[in-house]
Amino acid sequence: MHITELRIRNYRNFTKARFRFKPGVNTMIGENGSGKTNVFQALRLLLDENLERNAIYLKDTDFCRALGDWRGQWIVIAATFAELDASEGCQMLRHVAAHMDGTQTGTCTYLFRPKKEVRKKLFELNGDAESQTKYRAGLSIDDYEAIFTGRATGDCLDDATYARWVGDFTAATCPDPDTENADELGVRIAPIYPEIACTFVRALRDAVSDLRGFRGNPLLALLRGMESDIQIEKASGITDQIRKLNSDISSLDEIKTLARDIERALKRAVGHTYGPNVDITSSLPDTMERLLQKLGLLIGDDSTSGYKGELHEQSLGAANLIYLSLKLLEYERKRATERVAHFFLIEEPEAHIHTHIQKTLFANLPCENTQVIVSTHSTHISSAARITSVNVLAKMNDYAEVYQPADNLADRELQRVERYLDAVRSTLLFAKGVLLVEGDAELVMIPAMLEAVLGSTPDELGFSVISMSSAFFEHISLLFADNRIKRPCAILTDGDEAFIHLPADPMTDDRDQAHARRAQAAGEQRRRALEISANGNPWVKPFFAECTFEVDFIHNTNAPAVTRLLAEIYVDAAARERSRIALNSAEDGVAATEILRLAEREGKGWFAVLLAEQLNEWTIIPSYILEAVAFACHKSVQPRALQRMAEFRIERIMASDNPVRASPEPLMEAFPTGDYVTTFSLLLPNDDFSEFCGYLEVFQAQ
């Protein structure tokens, strides 16, 4: 038995969220504040018997802020279970949760809603919007109840269904609680905790503190109850020795003398009438239960060392591994009990743990007869996860959205995506926007150009540049769609248009012309395929270099940057001069041929690294790159980031004696007004920053 779907309505940072899970190991990924911890808390409200019982009574701050006024609204958390078969162990859960449709599925729902008398009063005030609003304004969290139901058929994420349950406060219409639909809401049941086993491993932010403490110490959880397993004769012998030791310590002359001295000092201070009597006794625990609670761990550095020391002597990573191991053992002991299902919830297990250990840990998670749900920031863990078992959380303003990247993708496409997502490329699952590029040259140069020209980086703008290494863009871009990941995906590739003259008759081509013609035909075919693949998808947009990246770079009057690089490539002055002349040639194809020759000579990736060191504020970023970057970040870029870019451009222009773009005097007079983007674009309409902002404006208006 396992959970196939979790639905959350109005809880914490979720207005409407649908999570889909598979048997075995599932992964939730998302940025800080996207709600991963809240998902686990929602699951624990349904599943975890170790959660404090009063935890089901929520606070007003547990309502999603996006609701505005929470009073009268409901929080709904519903889990759909599969494989509720007729086996003996499943009978009780099947009885309370299974749907009566022969599908072996069932639903358990947690409802936090106004009490019946409150809902009755809201119903009686129907039609009187003013009175109903005033009554709602007087509600407090004490007017709410927490209940569990089974077999609910209604989908709380459907607005029409939710309105039937809660009402429409704008129209002042609320349902009569005496006639509520038991099929949709389900029948009231007791919590299902006794039927299942749930082990929760919270984020390892301070494992040493937890292992030293009492309440959250997994070692104590394992020791609890063990005293009953120890033979009575052994237990009695130990406790008798402890009591004798307490007596021997308490009767030491030094201890007795200290007690008398303390008592005399007290009575000198307050007198004999009010002065208390004092004694000092040894209080070592003399019961097996309390003695076991005093046990601690000694940890060795590694398997080759004989030394074992206190936990605080270990690294944070070692302490986290010990904590995880104890929780795994706790899970194994629970799994040995007679429960119908086992759930293992792990929050961000990667903290302070080496990357190799992260992947090994993930690969070895127990999934036999167990459903595992892991949240993570780790690209190493996410790269090992099956894309079909991934939920991506995306933080919005006052709420979060949930995406399933594999929704309705064919098996063949899924296999290709999973084969491709290594630890580097899996960052596309975390990013607010992505820019897919052909290879290492773009991967190195695009961030370098943004930093040199605009004073910003992809991270600051909220997108990631990911090299496809010549893979097919359309397969990876399938992950971005309305029903999958709703984030911008820009595709940047070569148009491969010939930069040398091609005769009308292909039969007369020489070798270079034939090669250029084939590349041009392949580029046209690639363009058509990408445009067809992205057609109608608002989240994917391809952008094309006219020729190739290096050629378009040199065609944008960037010859000075490449010329400065020649000293790194050639020792011979004559060779440098020949290359310099070719790079600055106005003759068709000469500069393009030369830069490609240099890139091939050095290797495109290394050539890009060397070239990146020669960029400055006067480098021209090709327009197709600026447009692609604008699309990738148009949902995430912040006004403050644009202002910083404008300030950077102003500082560089004013500090330079290059007269190409503008004189500094108008800038100094105009920019104290504060509207950086508009003012900059008016004064310098041909500047890269102005062009970038123009593309942004277009995409943000769509």
Summarised one tens digit per residue, pLDDT across range 482-540 is: 999 999 999 998 887 777 778 888 888 788 778 777 877 877 888 888 999 899 999 99
For residue 694, being part of any structural domain is answered with no
Which of 192, 214, 234 corresponds to the end of one domain?
Answer: 192
Reference 43, options 320, 391, 326; nearest CA is: 391
For residue 538, being part of any structural domain is answered with yes
For residue 294, being part of any structural domain is answered with no
Which of 637, 654, 670 corresponds to the end of one domain?
Answer: 637
For residue 474, being part of any structural domain is answered with yes
On whether the CB atoms of residues 500 and 589 are closer than 8 A, the answer is: yes
Token output for 8:
């959350």
For residue 231, being part of any structural domain is answered with no
Domain hosting 111: range is: 2-21+53-192
How many distinct structural domains can be found in the chain?
Answer: 2
Which of 604, 621, 637 corresponds to the end of one domain?
Answer: 637
Q: Mean pLDDT in each 10-residue stretch from start to end of the chain (702 residues)?
A: 95 96 91 91 94 91 95 97 78 85 91 97 96 96 97 96 96 95 94 88 64 57 58 70 83 84 74 70 72 58 53 54 70 73 84 58 69 83 81 91 92 82 74 91 94 93 84 83 94 83 81 78 84 93 90 90 92 92 88 90 91 93 96 91 87 67 50 65 87 94 92
27-to-40, 43, 87, 222 alpha-carbon distances in Å: 12, 14, 29, 27
Classify each residue of 459-479 as buried b or exposed e, where b means 16 or more C-beta atoms within 10 Å of its C-beta. ebbbbbbbbbeeeebbbbbbb
For residue 595, being part of any structural domain is answered with yes
Token output for 681:
């674009």
d(C-alpha 687, C-alpha 656), whole Å: 15
pLDDT tens digits along 355-396: 555 666 666 666 677 888 989 887 767 777 788 899 999 998
Q: What is the pTM of this model?
A: 0.77
For residue 507, being part of any structural domain is answered with yes
Which residues are 106's β-sheet partners?
81, 98
